[in-house]
């Protein structure tokens, strides 16, 4: 086994044991890094210490010539960056050759977000006179307040919630746990749901899950997606809104408000800050849009 292969195995083991990545994510990283390793072998490179920036750029050009989309090439680069960052941190290489390689710009597809006013309109749409409406409002508030994935939102347990402290415990990808603040508006709507709506939906059945469907069953991701789509249509936002739109908007609005990207990374549960950095592009695009709209000489 070459020095490069040994280093790759060390890194993948680090991602599994220390970072707790999910099987799918780990498989994706491994596949991309094996492709990179095969490219380096073709270049006669078996030691990561002699890899330089030119090797990485040549690999990316090769991927482009093979027809890989910019987004796929960006994913490859994220894997390669993480690998060399790990080697540099472990003092296995003197300097990181991937540090100055930028992501393919067209590969950074900006996530769908809605404006703050659109979000407030959406949050105000559910009917607070029905058990399902109260539940949906609480779910929208929590999803937006904590930037949750839809699987995390429907998977929240009643025991995960601490309304007095204003936190929710979230079990994210790779079974990594994080604590996220939720704020007063979300706490108030969740309290209303717990007092008024949940007992009616439970129908006498016991369930550890916070959000319930009819008959006390756990709410599915598909069911919430369907309800959200209906509320977005009723709010007349004029755009498609998915559960991930709440998460994307949370991150974008936090960064626009001045939050540190490391803080947003922690709340989103991103292992690699490169994943979070895409939201800085959203904020920059909005700044440029505002400048073009309002500056007398755009």
Catalytic position from the list 59, 189, 247, 248: 247
Catalytic position from the list 11, 144, 193, 279: 279
Residues 6+ apart with CB under 8 A from 12: 26, 29, 30, 33
149 is catalytic: yes
Element (H, E) at 167: strand 167-171
* Residue pointed to by tokens 């609480």: 138
59 is catalytic: no
Catalytic position from the list 58, 209, 244, 286: 244
253 is catalytic: no
Helix-then-strand count for the chain, H and E: 14, 3
248 is catalytic: no
Nearest by Cα to 206 from 220, 217, 191, 190: 217
Q: If 0-12 CB within 10 Å is exposed, 13-18 middle and 19+ buried, where does residue 80 land?
A: buried
CB 92 within 8 Å of CB 47: no
CA 278 to chain centre: 10
11 is catalytic: no
Catalytic position from the list 149, 189, 227, 253: 149
Catalytic position from the list 73, 75, 253, 270: 270
218 is catalytic: no
Catalytic position from the list 14, 85, 169, 173: 173
Active-site annotation, residues: 149, 173, 244, 247, 270, 279
């Amino acid at each position: 086994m070459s020095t490069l292969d040994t280093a790759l195995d060390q890194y993948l083991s680090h991602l599994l044991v220390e970072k707790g990545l999910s099987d799918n994510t780990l498989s994706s990283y491994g596949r991309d890094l094996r492709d990179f390793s095969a490219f380096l072998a073709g270049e006669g490179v078996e030691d990561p210490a002699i890899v330089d920036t030119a090797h990485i750029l040549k690999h990316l050009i090769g991927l482009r010539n093979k027809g890989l989309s910019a987004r796929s090439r960006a994913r490859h680069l994220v894997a390669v960056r993480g690998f060399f960052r790990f080697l540099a941190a472990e003092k296995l290489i003197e300097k990181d050759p991937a540090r100055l390689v930028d992501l393919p710009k067209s590969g950074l597809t900006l996530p769908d977000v809605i404006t703050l006013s659109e979000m407030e309109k959406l949050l105000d749409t559910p009917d607070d006179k029905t058990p399902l409406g109260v539940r949906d409002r609480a779910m929208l508030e929590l999803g937006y307040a904590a930037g949750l994935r839809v699987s995390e939102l429907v998977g929240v347990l009643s025991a995960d919630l601490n309304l007095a402290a204003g936190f929710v415990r979230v079990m994210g990808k790779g079974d990594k746990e994080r604590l996220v603040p939720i704020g007063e508006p979300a706490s108030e709507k969740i309290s209303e749901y717990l007092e008024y709506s949940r007992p009616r939906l439970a129908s006498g059945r016991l369930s550890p899950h916070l959000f319930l469907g009819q008959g006390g069953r756990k709410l599915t991701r598909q069911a919430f997606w369907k309800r959200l789509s209906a509320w977005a249509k009723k709010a007349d936002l004029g755009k498609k809104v998915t559960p991930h739109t709440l998460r994307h908007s949370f991150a974008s609005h936090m960064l626009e408000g001045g939050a540190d990207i490391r803080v947003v990374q922690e709340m989103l549960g991103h292992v690699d800050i490169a994943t979070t950095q895409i939201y800085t592009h959203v904020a920059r695009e909005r700044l440029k849009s505002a400048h073009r709209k309002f500056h007398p000489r755009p």
